[in-house]
C-alpha cells in the first residue's frame, strides 16, 4: 500500500481510464488537517494481437506517484518549487516533510495572486481571474482593499434594456445590442459630432 497526503485547500480527483480501480479522490484539506488516500495495487488490461486481454498489475507506489503527478501537472503555474502540498508519503510523515510541502504551496499561492494582480492591472476586468486565483487569495487571507480583483462586480446595479432585454451596466445610455435609448435624461445632455454633408 502507498499513501497520498494532501494539505491542498481543494478537492482532488484523478481518473485513470482502463485501470481498476480507476478513480482516486481526496477531500479538501487544511494546513493543520491533511487528507489521506491509501492506494492499493491496481491492474490494467494489455490487449494482445489476437484480441485477448492480459491483466497487468500496477504497483501501489508507481500508481500513487502517477495520481499526484498527473493532478499537479494539470494545474496552472506549478513548478518544482511552487506547487500544491500533495505528495506520496515515503515512510513516516514528519514535520520537515510537511513544512517543506507547505512552503512550496505558499509560494504557489503567492504566484497565483501575483498573476491575478498583473492580469487585472493590464485589463481592468475580471475575465482572466479564475476560481484558482480566488482560492489562493482565500488561502492567504487577502483583503479586497489590497487586491482590486477581489472586489466583486456588482450585478445589482445593472439594468435591463426595455426593448431587447440585454443586461446593461447602469451607466449605459444607449443599448449596444439594439440601439434603444435606456436613459433619455442623460441622452439629452450628450453632444454628438455632426454628420458631414
The full length of the chain comes to: 197
Statement: residue 154 has pLDDT above 80: no
Spatial distance between the Cα atoms of 16 and 20, rounded to a whole number of angstroms: 8
Averaged pLDDT of the chain: 89
Give the mean pLDDT of 16-22: 89
Model pLDDT for residues 53-64, shown as the tens digit of each residue: 899 999 999 999
HSE, side-chain direction, 13 A CA sphere, residue 149 = 27
Give the mean pLDDT of 39-59: 89
Q: Contact at 8 Å (CB) between 193 and 186?
A: no
Model pLDDT for residues 58-101, shown as the tens digit of each residue: 999 999 999 999 999 999 999 999 999 999 998 888 899 999 99
Spatial distance between the Cα atoms of 22 and 42, rounded to a whole number of angstroms: 8
C-alpha cell at 40: 492499493
Phi/psi of residue 38, nearest 5 degrees: -85, 125
Amino acid at each position: 500500500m502507498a499513501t497520498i497526503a494532501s494539505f491542498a485547500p481543494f478537492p482532488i480527483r484523478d481518473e485513470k481510464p482502463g485501470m481498476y480501480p480507476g478513480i482516486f479522490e481526496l477531500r479538501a484539506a487544511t494546513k493543520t488537517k491533511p487528507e489521506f488516500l491509501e492506494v492499493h495495487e491496481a491492474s490494467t488490461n494489455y490487449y494482445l494481437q489476437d484480441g485477448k486481454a492480459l491483466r497487468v498489475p500496477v504497483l501501489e507506489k508507481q500508481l500513487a506517484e502517477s495520481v499526484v503527478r498527473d493532478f499537479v501537472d494539470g494545474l496552472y503555474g506549478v513548478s518544482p518549487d511552487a506547487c500544491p502540498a500533495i505528495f506520496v508519503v515515503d515512510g513516516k510523515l514528519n514535520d520537515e516533510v510537511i513544512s517543506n510541502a507547505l512552503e512550496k504551496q505558499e509560494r504557489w499561492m503567492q504566484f497565483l495572486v501575483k498573476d491575478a494582480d498583473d492580469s487585472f492591472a493590464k485589463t481592468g476586468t475580471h475575465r482572466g481571474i479564475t476560481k484558482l486565483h480566488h482560492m489562493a487569495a482565500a488561502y492567504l487571507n487577502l483583503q479586497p482593499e489590497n487586491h482590486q480583483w477581489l472586489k466583486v462586480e456588482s450585478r445589482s446595479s445593472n439594468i435591463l434594456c426595455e426593448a431587447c432585454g440585454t443586461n446593461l451596466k447602469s451607466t449605459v445610455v444607449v443599448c449596444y445590442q439594439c440601439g434603444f435609448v435606456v436613459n433619455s435624461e442623460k441622452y439629452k445632455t450628450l453632444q454628438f459630432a455632426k454628420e458631414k454633408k
